[in-house]
Amino acid sequence: MKQPNDSTNRNDSRTSSDEYAVKRHLSAAGTRKKKPVSQGSRSEGVHSRTSSDEYAVKRHFSAAGTRKKKPVSQGSRSEGVHSRTSSDEYAVKRRFLAAGQRGAALIFTIFALMIMMYVASEIVYDTAVDYRVTNSEYKSLRAHYNAKAGIEFSLLRLMIFRQVSNQFKDQQQMTNMIWQFPMAWPLVAPDKSLDSEKRNIEETAGESLIEGSFVTTITPESTKIDINDLAIDNEAYRKIIIQQLAAIIQNALDADTEWARNKRGEYQAMEIANNIADWVDQDSDARNGGSESAPYSPDEYGTDVIYPPNRTFRTIDELHMVAGVDDEIFKLLLPNITLFGSKGILINQAGKDILMAIDPMITEQVADAILERVADQAQGPFKGPDDFYTFLQNQGINPAPLREANLPLVFSEEVNFRISSQGQFQSVGREIIAVTYDFDTVKDRLQKLVTPPDPQAPNEANQDPANPQNPAPANQNPNQSAPPTQESKPAVGRPEVVFWEER
């Protein structure tokens, strides 16, 4: 036997419930308490209630009819399923649309946060870079002024040296100590100093307005070769300079180094030195033979100037333009050359190589003896050319060729100096190079070189005032030269700076 369908039983149950509800409603409507009314109004009220009850019943049955489900065929059931499916799809779509809107808002929020984070990181990065750049510039500026303070201290030392050397000309060893020793700030106390002295130095440094430190050194320019002296009309002096330049290059080539072994066949020391001299001298004949312009191609440097220009060097870097002087040769010569020399050979400050280049007879042993004499506190430096020539004669060297060569031998104090000051502030350092120049003294020396004394002219110091045509008799050694003409006194004010370089 076929079992009744569950849906049919549920529909019958809902129908019974609906009928029971209608009956209960009608019963409640019939048992409502009535107020006494007139006949007309009663009939109207009954009619109104009847209409209302009928409307309520119809409405109830209409609602019940929509809820009551009869057994339907397979097609009707599929239509209902399709209807419910459409409703479910619509609900799902609504849920997905709502979820999509929430996801879009979340993505937009994340994107906005990413942009804000990027902008914030860029601002932080730019601020950090600006701070570091500003801080570095601030430290560099403080280090620069510390180095400049060192230059000013050194100029003060040189000014004091000038004043003292004019008063104590016979005590060069003592006066040279004013500029010879390096100076540092804050002052460094020796290890053997007393604790009280160290405290005084620390207190002085603490009260100073200088924040940071500096170290200065002063070196004489006479210890270097002035390549512009090659323009002086004194062939013996030019040969000495050429020999010195060639010796610097040759000594580097003779050294037992890898660079020397690779370059010995490439460089010719004397040829390079002659090219440097041809750049400065006034003639057009090359010292290596031929024309001076032969090693240079026309318009080699993009100008209409003919090379070599036959003039003095204007900058030290111009030496790069000389034929044969490449970067390696320039690095060899740079520590030993200058453009601010004293226009002479300062015997009391010259080194062994310079002394040996003065005359072939001055060997290494004689040069060592000259240096010992200069350093001797008892005898002291050479007082003048006569003192120097006498010393050479005692060493077995004939000084006559040196006298005839009329070399610009200088026995006075150094007048041109190079100052190096290194300033430090925290972790930043700066360096300043300055060169001082005494124009008056150098001018006097150049005048002596350009206009040497005439050996045929009578000596004014030995003339008879009553008869100027006849010199007065004098007990003088014929081999002894006249005393040197006094140079103008060095300036006693602030030294004049002619070169300034910041590193």
pLDDT of amino acid 249: 87
Count the neighbouring beta carbons within 10 Å of the beta carbon of residue 124: 10
In this predicted structure, the answer to whether residue 177 has a pLDDT above a threshold of 50 is yes
pLDDT tens digits for 401-435? 888 777 778 887 788 899 999 999 988 899 999 99
DSSP symbols for 82-129:
HHHHHHHHHHHHHHHHHHHHHHHHHHHHHHHHHHHHHHHHHHHHHHHH
Is the alpha carbon torsion for 332, 338, 341, 343 positive or negative?
A: positive
Of the pLDDT bands very low, low, confident and very high (cuts 50, 70, 90), residue 342 is: confident
Do β-strands 409-410 and 183-185 pair in parallel, antiparallel, or remain unpaired? unpaired
Tokens 């060569």 -> residue: 405
Q: Are 343 and 446 in contact (CB under 8 A)?
A: yes
- CA distance between the termini of the chain: 116
pLDDT tens digits for 66-121? 554 555 555 555 555 556 666 777 776 676 666 667 777 888 888 899 999 999 99
- On the 0-12 / 13-18 / 19+ scale of CB atoms within 10 A, 125 is exposed
Which residue in 423, 433, 399 sits closest to 502, CA to CA?
A: 433
CA 105 to chain centre: 53
In this predicted structure, the answer to whether residue 471 has a pLDDT above a threshold of 50 is no
Q: Are 332 and 248 in contact (CB under 8 A)?
A: yes
- Burial letters 461-488, b for 16+ CB under 10 A, else e: eeeeeeeeeeeeeeeeeeeeeeeeeebe
387 Cβ contact list (under 8 Å, min separation 6): 411
CA distances from residue 325 to 162, 279, 286 in whole angstroms, order as listed: 38, 12, 16
Which residue in 408, 410, 388, 411 sits closest to 399, CA to CA?
A: 388
Q: Are 276 and 329 in contact (CB under 8 A)?
A: no
Question: What percent of the chain is predicted at pLDDT more than 90?
Answer: 16
The Cα–Cα gap between 226 and 344 comes to 9
CA distances from residue 474 to 108, 307, 467 in whole angstroms, order as listed: 114, 54, 15
Strand intervals (E) in 190-234: 213-220, 225-226
CATH number for the segment(s) 225-416 = 1.10.40.60
Average pLDDT over residues 370-395: 85
Tokens 């070399």 -> residue: 407
pTM: 0.64
> H or E segment at 200?
helix 195-207
Lowest mean pLDDT, pick from 66-80, 205-219, 243-257: 66-80
Q: Are 53 and 26 in contact (CB under 8 A)?
A: yes
The Cα–Cα gap between 386 and 477 comes to 12
The Cα–Cα gap between 115 and 111 comes to 6
In this predicted structure, the answer to whether residue 236 has a pLDDT above a threshold of 70 is yes
pLDDT of amino acid 156: 93
